[in-house]
Amino acid sequence: MDKSILERINEFTWRIPTSYKKGMRVPGVIYTSEALLDGVLKDKALEQVANVAFLPGIVKASLAMPDIHWGYGFAIGGVAATDIDSGGVISPGGVGFDINCGVRLLRSDLTFKDVNKKLEILVNRIFSDVPTGVGSTGKIALSTKDSKDILTKGAKWAVEKGFGTEVDLEFTESNGAMEGASIESVSKRAFERGKFQAGTLGSGNHFIEVQVVEEIFDEKIADSLGLSKDQVTVMIHSGSRGFGYQICDEYSRKMIQCLSKYNIDVPDKQLACAPLESAEGKSYFSAMKCAANYAWANRQCLMHLVRGCFEEVFDTSWKSLGMNLIYDVAHNIAKIEKHIVDNKEKKLCVHRKGATRSFGPGQSDVSIKYRSIGQPVIVPGDMGTSSYVCVGTETAMKNTFGSSCHGAGRIKSRTQALKSVNLNVLLKELQSKGIIVKAKGGKTIIEEAPSAYKNIDQVIDVVNASGIAKKIARMRPIGVIKG
Amino acid sequence: MKVNKYELISHTADIGIRVKANSLEGIFCSAASAMFDLMAKEKTPAPITHSLEISLNANSQEELVVFWLNELLSLSQAKQVIFDEFIINKFTNTILEAVVKGKGFNNYAIDTEIKAATFHELKLNKVKNNWQLELIFDV
């Protein structure tokens, strides 16, 4: 898209007017900076923001968060809300194949000094105990009953199996399970595809990171979150694995039939959709919830395995190490939420495709402990720089349906990374920064090289300055486990 | 595994392929072998151990090729098999019946997870006398 198309609203916000493309029902609104915008203009991400504006029932704007980059259907970093009572649609493409891909962050009472001397042992232990990589199978065998329960109970299923505690659920978005997940909406194949993978990390950009809190931007809120400088944290990034891919695939096929049935015109088949209140819409939403619940159970299992590794290495219980869950967020999901649009409260279907919920203070959906400060927004960066913890804001509630970014966002394709990055040079560079990386193969490390990503500090500066989340703490990686 | 030539298309987050063949059936087989080649490399040559039937319906050739690749990915993960032989028995613009053969995951070094084939920027057309497909995978 040519820059001249864009209308600048303020320092950190640009608009794609509805006049750009016939069929856009609302404008596109992009949260970015002048510096980041040039990178965004290089690929087709903004075209995708304009395409999303075609969705029936979409309200206010097709939004792009500061980590926006080119995806398929929706841009990654895309947020779109549709008005359910006015025929608003739900689109599997607005959630993605990896349904409820998300991140969780654990705190600890350990400091960098405590961990550094045992870092290599710890990273090796996590790498050996947590199944990673393509085709890896979990150590958690699912009975037929388990395969069903995991879909309706989510993280609670894992807790009932002894993988964590009830308290963990309080600090998980939606308490680790969306209500209304019916297994009738799930095919035999999806069960089959998911049964080997509970408690597995996956590959690609999924990871487990041991981190150190390097900087605190708001002492009071950091304290409420249980974060302090020099403290060791652990971040886990994974999703619903093959189970979610299967749900998305099957329902994308069904939704293509819905385009003619409901007379819907979208410029990309990957945006196929159906009214949420239609039989097809309800069925997808139910299946999506099953996959979302699977993902929360998966991250709960992964956290349990990681806690076990710390227990082995530090020879004490995870509870005595203070390894509590700070929060778990979904960043590929659709949810029914109430938001104010044109001064009226509306029931919306909010799609977050590579975007994190950023509910501000006072929201009843947020854990009581955080209700006065806003929900934690966990933002992973790349393996060589930093990750952030932010909190949700009133501005996000007002402007972005309570949403913010989900990561740094890629700038370089995997093929470009493979051509331009030398594995040994990269590993030495990471080593010189005190970062140990373990992965099944060198290819993943190269594809996920820091140079393939936008500068996370710049992305968070836009988030913070535009007010869609407030930055609280920055962590640097010291141990990285990839698939 | 014999893999027909394919090109990679650069995409910021994902991976695209461009395959060429002198028939539409050839495109379907080449795209499938390119997809599994992106995912995995065989450790040592071994005999086929799995054979499965696939039967698909779609509204168009474009839909059919995406459904075909996604069905293969789905079967691959559900059965823990990498496919390397694709025999198409019936083929029209909207119907495909095939037998696909392969070997277990343990016979391969698998280094890329492909989540799905997508419709985004999909191009399937005839260039002079050859067919050409451009397709983006979610990885």
- Name the least confident of A208-217, A282-291, B8-17, B33-42: B8-17
CA nearest to A237, candidates A132, A112, A116, A121: A132
- Choice between A410 and A138, residue whose per-residue pLDDT is larger: A410
* Whether complex ipTM tops 0.90: yes
The per-residue pLDDT for B12 is 82
CA distance B114 to chain A (A): 9
Active site residue A206: no
Q: What CA–CA distance (Å, rounded) separates A211 from A232? A: 6
- Name the least confident of A74-78, A134-138, B108-112: A134-138
Q: Which chain B residue is nearest to residue A48, measuring alpha carbons?
A: B120
Q: What CA–CA distance (Å, rounded) separates A43 from A428? A: 31
CA nearest to A65, candidates A405, A420, A299, A310: A405
**Distances A103 to A38, A236, A326 between C-alpha atoms, Å:** 28, 5, 11
Q: What CA–CA distance (Å, rounded) separates A418 from A445? A: 10
Structure tokens, A304 = 């349990």
Domains in chain B, number: 1
The per-residue pLDDT for A111 is 98
- Residue B23 touches chain A, beta carbons under 8 Å: no
pLDDT band at A159 (very low <50, low <70, confident <90, very high): very high
The per-residue pLDDT for B2 is 62
Judged against a pLDDT cut of 70, whether residue A225 lies above it is answered with yes
Q: What CA–CA distance (Å, rounded) separates B40 from B29? A: 17
Residues of A in contact with B8 (CB under 8 A): 415
Judged against a pLDDT cut of 60, whether residue A367 lies above it is answered with yes
Q: What CA–CA distance (Å, rounded) separates B93 from B56? A: 11
Q: Which member of B70, B112, B118 has the closest CB to residue A134?
A: B112
CB contact under 8 A, A270 and B74: no
Q: Is residue A377 within 8 Å of residue A329, measured between CB atoms? A: yes
Tell me the residues of chain B between 62 and 101 that have a Cβ less than 8 Å away from chain A: 62-63, 67, 70, 73-74, 77-78, 80
Structural domain includes residue B53? yes
The per-residue pLDDT for A27 is 98
Q: Which of A69, A339, A351, A406 is catalytic?
A: A406
Q: How far is CA A197 from the centre of its chain?
A: 19
Per residue in B30-89, pLDDT tens? 999 999 999 999 999 999 999 999 999 999 999 999 999 999 999 999 999 999 999 999
CB contact under 8 A, B10 and A416: yes
Residues of A in contact with B96 (CB under 8 A): none
- Mean pLDDT across the stretch A61-66? 98
Strand partners, A7: A15
CA distance B112 to chain A (A): 7
Q: Which chain B residue is nearest to residue A74, measuring alpha carbons?
A: B120
CB contact under 8 A, A440 and B111: yes
CB contact under 8 A, B11 and A256: no
Residue percentage of chain A with pLDDT more than 90: 89
> CB-based burial of residue B8 (10 Å sphere; 0-12 exposed, 13-18 middle, 19+ buried)?
middle
Looking up residue B127, the CATH number of its domain turns out to be 3.55.10.10
Q: What CA–CA distance (Å, rounded) separates A13 from A27? A: 12
Domain that holds residue B121: 6-138
Q: Find which of A240, A247, A249 to mutate to test the B interface (most B CBs within 10 Å of its CB).
A: A249
pLDDT band at A131 (very low <50, low <70, confident <90, very high): confident
Residue percentage of chain A with pLDDT more than 70: 100
Rounded to the nearest 5°, which phi and psi values hold at A332?
-135, 95
Q: Which chain B residue is nearest to residue A192, measuring alpha carbons?
A: B78
Per residue in A15-31, pLDDT tens? 999 999 999 999 999 99
The per-residue pLDDT for A102 is 98
Exposure b/e, A404-428, CB count within 10 A at least 16 = b: bbbbbbbbbbbebbbeebeeeebbe
Q: What CA–CA distance (Å, rounded) separates A255 from A257? A: 5
The per-residue pLDDT for A413 is 87
The per-residue pLDDT for B128 is 87
Per residue in A247-278, pLDDT tens? 999 999 999 999 999 999 999 999 999 999 99
Judged against a pLDDT cut of 60, whether residue B1 lies above it is answered with no
Q: Which amino acid is at A242?
A: G
Residue position matching structure tokens 């402990």: A369
Q: What CA–CA distance (Å, rounded) separates A232 from A394? A: 30
Structural domain includes residue B112? yes
pLDDT band at A412 (very low <50, low <70, confident <90, very high): confident
Structural domain includes residue B27? yes
Q: Is residue A324 within 8 Å of residue A226, measured between CB atoms? A: yes
Structural domain includes residue B30? yes
Angle at the Cα of A476 from the Cα atoms of A472 and A478, rounded to 5 degrees? 145
Domains of chain A and CATH, by start = 3-482 (3.90.1860.10)
The answer for residues whose C-beta is within 8 angstroms of residue A61's C-beta and 6 or more apart is: A15, A26, A27, A28, A29, A53
Q: Work out the mean pLDDT of chain A and round it to a whole number.
A: 95
The per-residue pLDDT for A73 is 92
Residues of B in contact with A243 (CB under 8 A): none
Q: What CA–CA distance (Å, rounded) separates A174 from A223? A: 23
- For the entire predicted model, the pTM comes to 0.95
Structural domain includes residue B1? no
